[in-house]
Amino acid sequence: MKRKVLFIPLVVFALLVAAFMFQLHRNMQGDDPDTLESALIGKPVPPFQLPALFDDGQQVTQQVLHTGKPLLLNVWGTWCPTCRAEHEYLRSLAGTGITIIGVNYKDDREKARHWLTTLGNPYAIDLFDANGTLALNIGVYGAPETFLIDGQGIIRYRHVGAMTAEVWRNEFAARWDALTRGGAQ
Amino acid sequence: MSRLAACVLGICLVLPVWAATTDSKPFDSPQQAQTYHDATAVLRCPKCQDISIADSDAMIAADMRNRVYQLVREGKTKQQVVQYMVERYGEFVNYDPPLTPSTLLLWAGPLLCLVAGGIIIAMQGRRRRRRSNPGLSSLEQERLRNLLKTNESGEQK
């Protein structure tokens, strides 16, 4: 009896090692423990009214999301190094016919315009969210973040961090295809 | 010299208070100020995770404080403000989560640990008591009787 009790710490230790190894392995696969659940999945993007990045006189509302086709909403800023890193991939995504709406988040309008004119513009529509109003309403807490929105303006998926080929393949591609098929019916 | 040190220390101690008050915003009533203070203390910064938005310097925390300020000025209660943020950022931002089936373990966990610990201590205590007074086996009792008998007969000699 007494002998068996002595093994309890060893068993507890082994269980802890197994638990840590399991989570570390998942982190290696790209599971970021800092990522928050998204409270807005399945809910519509709240109404907004923002100026266009290139034309301060033009106001854009949530109506631009109701196209009947899925689209991506990408939150970015020139102050954000990861946004620079994902920029090329966003351009190639746009090149394959995927509609991306860019939300320039808490940025300098001139810098943002310069960035898009020199690096190329992957966005079909450019919004300028200087105060982070829209961003706060959709639960953005950093940049970049990418939302998958269906043709009715409902948020279907959200990715925090850089968009890469791997992220697209693993997290977005199947959902995008399902929405495109659904929209065609 | 020591007076100078005390002076510097005093300034250092006061600085955080001064820094905190520069952030203060004008309110219509002391109740609104209190609501703002309570709400920002109970909302957790989504970027920095282990700190409330009242204490955080992160950009998102400042934006959230501004939104809380707007909401409070509109006459929203602390509960409504927290609910507003939870709708956008999830239960994660609430440092004071409500008791729901999914948070039951969170609330009951410490109590369960306490009860489990109490049971373990009680069981060990009982076992120790039993061991310290184990009684004699029938063999030992016989030996004791024999010993006492020989002792008695020895004294008679």
**Contact criterion met (CB < 8 Å) for B63 and A138:** no
pLDDT tens readout for residues A129-175: 999 999 999 999 888 999 999 999 999 999 989 999 999 999 899 99
Asked if B27 and B34 touch (Cβ cutoff 8 Å), the reply is no
Contacts of B155 by beta carbon, 8 Å cutoff, 6+ apart: none
Mark yes or no for CB contact A37/B64 under 8 Å.
Answer: no
Q: If you average pLDDT over residues B97-111, what whole number do you get?
A: 85
Q: Which of B59, B60, B90 is closest, CB to CB, to A39?
A: B90
- The answer to whether B88 contacts A39, with C-beta atoms less than 8 Å apart, is yes
The interface predicted TM-score (ipTM) is 0.76
Please, are residues A99 and A124 in contact by the beta-carbon 8 Å criterion? yes
Q: Is the pLDDT of residue B14 over 60?
A: no
**Beta-carbon separation of B59 and A38 below 8 A:** no
Residue to mutate among A141, A145, A155, A160, with most B CBs inside 10 A, is A141
| In the predicted structure, residue B18 carries a pLDDT above the cut 50 | no
Q: How far apart are CA A16 and CA A9, in angstroms?
A: 10
Residue B67 forms contact with A (CB below 8 Å): yes
Task: Report the gap between the CA of A56 and the closest CA in chain B (Å).
Answer: 22
A1 vs A79, which has greater pLDDT? A79
Is A24's pLDDT higher than 50?
Answer: yes
CA B59, CA B127: separation in Å to the nearest integer?
Answer: 59
pLDDT confidence of B2, banded at 50, 70, 90? Answer: low
- B62 at the A interface (CB within 8 A)? no
Beta strands A71-76 and A145-149 are: antiparallel
Tokens 């989504």 belong to B46
Beta carbons of B90 and A37 less than 8 Å apart: yes
Residue B21 has pLDDT above 50, yes or no: no
Q: Are the beta carbons of A136 and B87 separated by less than 8 Å?
A: no
- Residue A112, pLDDT > 90, answer yes
SS3 for A135-166 is: HHHCCCCCCCEEEEECCCCEEEEEEECCCCHH
HEC string of A64-110 equals HHCCCCCEEEEEECCCCHHHHHHHHHHHHHHHCCCCEEEEEECCCHH
Q: Write out pLDDT tens, residues A63-104.
A: 999 989 999 999 999 999 999 999 999 999 999 999 999 999
Per the CB < 8 A criterion, the answer to whether A125 and A102 are in contact is yes
* Average pLDDT value for residue range A42-68: 91
Q: How confident is the model at residue B7 (pLDDT cuts 50, 70, 90)?
A: low
- Any A CB within 8 A of B130 CB: no
Predicted local confidence at residue B1, as pLDDT = 53
Q: Would you state the torsion angle of the CA atoms of residues B106, B107, B109, B112, taken in this order, to the nearest 10 degrees?
A: -160
Q: Categorize the per-residue pLDDT at B140 as very low, low, confident or very high, splitting at 50, 70 and 90.
A: confident
- Residues A39, B64: C-beta atoms closer than 8 Å: no
Interchain CB distance below 8 Å, B67 and A136: yes
Residue B61 sits at the chain A interface (C-beta within 8 Å)? no
Inter-chain residue contact B88 with A138, CB threshold 8 Å: yes
Contact A103, A134 (CB under 8 A): yes
Nearest CA in chain A to B87: A39
The answer to whether B124 faces chain A, any CB pair under 8 Å, is no
Query: pLDDT tens digit string along B74-86?
Result: 999 999 999 999 9
Our CA-based measurement puts residue B142 at a distance from the nearest CA of chain A, in whole angstroms, of 29
